[in-house]
Structure 1
């Protein structure tokens, strides 16, 4: 797919062996840069614009953009680097993958060189941009930008689509958003990706589900994963009779409630290999059994392969409340996992945070991560 500001892999000459040299100003040709001496002569619409490369395909796995200023001088100002990814789909919107800040006078001391990394996936192209939001006296003679691991054109051509029917359940209530994080407090009535908080266990919907499960309506974070999961399935139209669900890690109350609603429920201990035939899955293994964070991340990624395209995954993960707990996610860990899933075309519900309530004596709180599998082939 080609278009404004996008080039195909191999469309420009390589720099060093294995590297792809990019036009630092290829996305906005002719525009003047915030860094004196660079770019064109036309004043731009963005007063903090420094540079913006075209979008290019990267090899799978870790990759880096390298930025090299020649003849850089600066006493003040900050350079903000941002990597955006763009799906290979019509009218797709770019999303932020990674960002970094560096004082321009420190960049001068580093010889004018900086790097910023990301993870490459097929079906996406990537660009790096620079901004200088503060007052600056920076000037440079030249700017070079390279990508260390461009995609192999042969790999791009070998992308056979999957022949899997999408789920007929679900709603469009879960939509892609420009920003992953929300400043709003989490609500059980309108669940997204969120931790258990005391406020949610005072909502009317908490008492409603407790009655349906024949449980006391008193606040108990041990019940929150089951109630959150059922409420999420209801809000996103997955509770209709006939839906097929996969439960990972075991939750007898949840399984009974879903079967009572006419669902075909399969249970497994982990996201092992299998056909992509579930409309939704609920993963409790990470919260109940713990383990290494890397193993839990691998399980979350693998589980999406068990879903039909457009299917919904709800994973309950241990969130660190007290510092130093082994096998507990920090918020930054969850955000990195979410960005990885987004870069693979899956949709992750917006994150809402609050004062999480820990499970008794554990130092961790349940965190619900909500993901919808990509509707189109990966």
Structure 2
């Protein structure tokens, strides 16, 4: 997870820290009886007391269903952007959205096992699995390959890649850049190499031989980070200061690659509007038109764009919108007035 200013979605995912007081347990019990016709479990009572109001509790128990707008399904306006519209798959990864069917694929269970986690329908875990699937499809998970991770926090990817013989340079934000933002206190920031070590994934000797760590500001990538076979980031560039800053990072990340090297990034995607969106110094939701503008620009500069597939899924879980305090399934969610999910983008550097 990103180690940049802790505002917006990640903070919202903790529940309702700003509420003056939790709802009384009786309110949760009666809401379950009236709306769902059953008794809540003790865990459900505890979780749902975090809602700011009875109205918020009602929205969580009877959430609005998602219906894909026509603009999401249309062909890109630019002929430079390769496109497809079909249920996305981890077995055939392209630039795609997180959808429910991918959690049922055998590839999902396999990638979860590779990172030492039990599969669960959560978009953040999907990001790890999709990144690995894309890296594998690009031939970047192999002994002797070298990969650069941005904003790695304490994610399992550096250790998993090292176990496969990949030489990894893992980076996270300099401590002075995130001072006071809360990332360190929640164990979401890495400040040294051993914060990334996973003994269940890789032996310590191999980890130390294959993984290096350094602080890096994603808005100012050092010029000596060059020649990598791959680079990646998991939900980081939406925290870099705004939409343009995030798009610039993706383009700049390609400079770290050798010709043919692959950049694999995930971020927040606005499912509800191609016009109104959230843009703050700490968090931005990228619209379809933002992603297309980036891909068109990169294609025009000679980079190879993997097909863009914005199919939002067609199972009942794909219509479910998770609301605070968040629970599973956590695939599409409402936060700060927007409906969003995760999107993955793959670009290979031109010669």
**Please, what TM-score do these two structures have when normalized by structure 2?**
0.53
Aligned to 2:131, the other structure's residue is in SS state helix
| Matched residue SS, 2:244 | helix
Contact 2:95 2:344 (C-alpha < 8 Å) held by counterparts: yes
1:139-154 matches, cutoff 5 A: none
CA distance in 2, matches of 1:359, 1:293: 20
Matching residue of 1:225: 127
Question: What SS class does the counterpart of residue 222 from structure 1 fall into?
Answer: helix
Instruction: Say whether 1:370 aligns with 2:346.
Output: yes
Alpha-carbon distance, 1:370 to partner: 0.1
| Cα shift readout 1:310-368 (whole Å, capped 9, x = no counterpart) | 10000112101344333111112111110100000000100111227335747431111
Equivalent positions of 1:118-267 (< 5 A) are 180-251=82-153, 252-267=155-170
Q: Give deviations 1:70-124, integer Å, cap 9, x for gaps.
A: xxxxxxxxxxxxxxxxxxxxxxxxxxx967xxxxxxxxxxxxxxxxxxxxxxxxx
Among 216, 230, 240, the alignment partner of 1:280 is 230
Match of 1:307 in 2: 257
Q: 1:352 to 1:98 in 2, by over 3 A?
A: closer
* Structure 1 residue matching 2:87: 3-state secondary structure: coil
Contact preservation (8 Å) 2:235, 2:268 = no
The structure where helix makes up a greater share of residues is 2
List per-residue Cα deviations over 1:126-183 (Å, max 9, x = no partner).
xxxxxxxxxxxxxxxxxxxxxxxxxxxxxxxxxxxxxxxxxxxxxxxxxxx9752212
Residue 181 of structure 1 aligns to a residue in which SS?
coil
Cα distance in 1 for partners of 2:287, 2:121 equals 24
Judge conservation of contact 2:90–2:107 (CA < 8 Å) in 1: yes
Equivalent residue, structure 1, for 2:278:
325
Task: Tell me the equivalent position of 1:103.
Answer: none
Shift of 1:214: 2.1
Question: Compared with structure 1, are the counterparts of its residues 230 and 285 closer, same or farther at alpha carbon in structure 2 (3 Å cutoff)?
Answer: same
Is residue 352 from structure 1 mapped to residue 326 from structure 2 by the alignment? no
* 2:291 aligned partner: 334
Bigger radius of gyration? 1
Runs of 4+ in structure 1 displaced over 6 angstroms?
none
Q: Which residue is 1:168 aligned to?
A: none
State the TM-score, normalizing by the size of structure 1: 0.50
Any unmatched runs of 5+ in structure 1?
1-96, 100-176
Of structures 1 and 2, the one scoring higher in RCO (CA 8 A, sep 6+) is 2
Note if contact 2:150-2:171 (Cα within 8 Å) is conserved in structure 1: yes
Q: Would the aligned equivalents of 1:287 and 1:366 in 2 still touch at CA under 8 Å?
A: no
Unaligned runs of 5+ in 2: 1-75, 173-217, 314-330
> Relative to structure 1, is the Cα distance of residues 293 and 204 closer, same or farther in structure 2, using a 3 angstrom cutoff?
same
- C-alpha contact (below 8 Å) 1:348/1:370 kept by paired residues: yes
Answer whether contact 1:290 1:318 (CA < 8 A) is retained: no
Higher strand share: 1
Residues of 2 paired with 1:288 and 1:200: CA distance? Answer: 23
Give the whole-Å Cα distance in 2 for the aligned partners of 1:311 and 1:215: 28
CA distance in 1, matches of 2:100, 2:143: 32
**Conserved? CA contact 1:338–1:348, under 8 Å:** yes
Q: Which residue of 1 aligns with 2:10?
A: none
Do 1:202 and 1:219's aligned partners in 2 also have CA atoms closer than 8 Å? no
The 8 Å contact of residues 81 and 299 in structure 2, kept in 1 or not, is answered as no
